[in-house]
A and B are shown apart, each in its own frame.
Chain A
């Protein structure tokens, strides 16, 4: 199963975990907005935020190594853009501040997502009046993500057990056929879900 989807730390108990999701989301977004709005060279402020983040991470009792790993997974694009930013005068300094800022923002979001279950985030979205259709779509997506993962795993296993290593060209076709098959099964599942939802009185 997918490691980031499982995220074992979301269910731990700590001060941060117990905070209502809406409060956490508000604080995290306020933090990110503050970092983004800071002037480019506000290094002392960056340092202060970094210390606050580390303190919050310690309070969350999520291992720092786990947070660091998740940070590394999302860092490559920031690195790429920072590299592009080098190609201008004062590029090195701009690239460095960009990296610092985006790492701090990522830290806020990684901490938020490591201490909050997605269901609670959805409830927070509903509280701030995000349209019901969008929240329903998000909830369905999140609810069936795991199932579809396993479905895809089964399709791939079935294929592997029946065929020997294929050439590169065949590989593309087979991956695509698996995806097509997965979509067909997904739409059949959606029909059944609709019937179940309609039976319980759901309306758009």
Chain B
């Protein structure tokens, strides 16, 4: 490693610190997080072979280290990994929940990165929602697009983007529900930033999975074996937990956006002033598509357009990363070189 400390450069755009959540939001997300982690522990104990259990701890260390790898982006900034989808693709979904839980607890207790009272919320966003949503999308893409390397990379990239954005929306909902940041500001800011961060996440995750598929393809098959052994009941409950959380944190605002905004405003006791605030209103205008009257509808349309673009980019990436021969045989190439510096 070079001499400069790299810890300061990790992505912390989603680690909520202490003092930003109110008691009810912190408690609710804490309960959801405990339920989700407990479920994952149970599933891992039952369906992951003992041989693979140490791998969970080591993959947590790997994700932590990989978060410190630098990926240069324009303008001197650099991209970083969150790693939830990467862990889910490499180990399976419930093991990924444990990996992300360990990473977040270590960051919280060792680096004061992310608050203790917000640990539940951070766990819910990055250890329950991100791997859950990500793995579901990955599995769906692979079922629709076939089992080859290209489908795997497409699924990884698209799932990585979606999971990053979904987690950031949950985070925005928690901040808005706590009355810390107005929803009309929190949603565009968080989801906008993470729609960009998600592109980096997608690129890195897909590149790493492509690398592993090239060096040791059987490692990826191992993950599928252990996730196939997990019972459907567990994934249904995991999905229910995520939906419940999103319903609590996001739905009050998303169901009728202007109402949600007013509710926040009146809860903070300044609804009479909100009308005259240009800053409150401006994000709404930014998000309104021309020709569409309803704010909620245009938000949904904007979200769909963004998702579509992300899927297109993921497809192009997957095409670019798959060697033609491997795509034709629809099986990853066996036994590549183990030399890290081999030209790609």
Contacts and interface: CB of A to CB of B under 8 A. Distances in A.
15 contacts: A73-B7, A87-B280, A98-B180, A102-B17, A109-B115, A141-B102, A141-B106, A143-B57, A149-B1, A172-B203, A178-B69, A186-B58, A187-B55, A187-B216, A190-B54
A4 B182 contact: no
A146 B63 CA distance: 13
Chain B interface, >50% SS class: helix
For B56, B113, B341, the residue with the greatest tally of chain A CB atoms inside 10 Å of its CB is B341
Q: Which 10 A-B pairs have the closest CB atoms?
A: A180-B211, A140-B57, A176-B207, A105-B18, A101-B19, A109-B112, A190-B55, A141-B60, A102-B19, A89-B270
A156 B1 contact: yes
Given A89-B273, A186-B61, A204-B50, A80 B56 contact: no
B58 A141 contact: yes
Contacts of B103: 141
A81 B181 contact: yes
A144 to B, nearest CB: 5
Interface in B191-244: 203-204, 207-212, 214-216, 219
Nearest to B213: A180
Interface of B: 1, 5-8, 12-13, 15-21, 23, 26, 37-38, 41, 44-45, 50-62, 64-66, 68-72, 90, 98-99, 101-103, 105-106, 108-113, 115-117, 175, 180-182, 185-186, 189, 203-204, 207-212, 214-216, 219, 265, 268, 270, 273-274, 277, 279-280, 338, 340-342, 344
Contacts of B56: 137, 140
For A4, A90, A134, A189, the residue with the greatest tally of chain B CB atoms inside 10 Å of its CB is A134
A141 B61 CA distance: 5
A193 interface: yes
A74 B112 contact: yes
A36 B71 contact: no
B61 A140 contact: yes
B112 A183 contact: no
A168 B72 contact: yes
B215 A32 contact: no
A106 B18 contact: yes
Contacts of B16: 77, 81
B215 A181 contact: yes
A29 interface: yes
For A28, A102, A153, A176, the residue with the greatest tally of chain B CB atoms inside 10 Å of its CB is A176
B51 A133 contact: no
Determine the interface band of chain A, counting residues with CB < 8 A from chain B: 35 or more
Contacts of A33: 117
Given A102-B17, A189-B58, A152 B340 contact: no
A4 B70 CA distance: 18
A142 B65 CA distance: 11
B287 to A, nearest CB: 14
Contacts of B13: 77, 80
A73 B8 contact: yes
Contacts of B182: 87-88
Chain A interface, >50% SS class: helix
A119 to B, nearest CB: 11
A84 B189 contact: yes
B19 A191 contact: no
Interface stretch (A11-19, A51-59, A157-165): A157-165
A191 B90 CA distance: 15
B26 to A, nearest CB: 7
Interface in A170-185: 170-184
A32 B115 contact: yes
Nearest to B272: A89
Contact of B53 (A4, A88, A136): A136
Nearest to A75: B17
Contact of A159 (B8, B51, B110, B340): B340
Contact of B340 (A28, A77, A155): A155
Interface in A68-89: 70, 73-74, 76-78, 80-81, 84-85, 87-89
B17 A172 contact: no
Given A88-B277, A101-B18, A152-B1, A187 B58 contact: yes
Interface string A98-119: 1001101110011011000010
B190 to A, nearest CB: 8
Given A74-B17, A102-B19, A81 B180 contact: yes
A2 B279 CA distance: 42
B340 A181 contact: yes
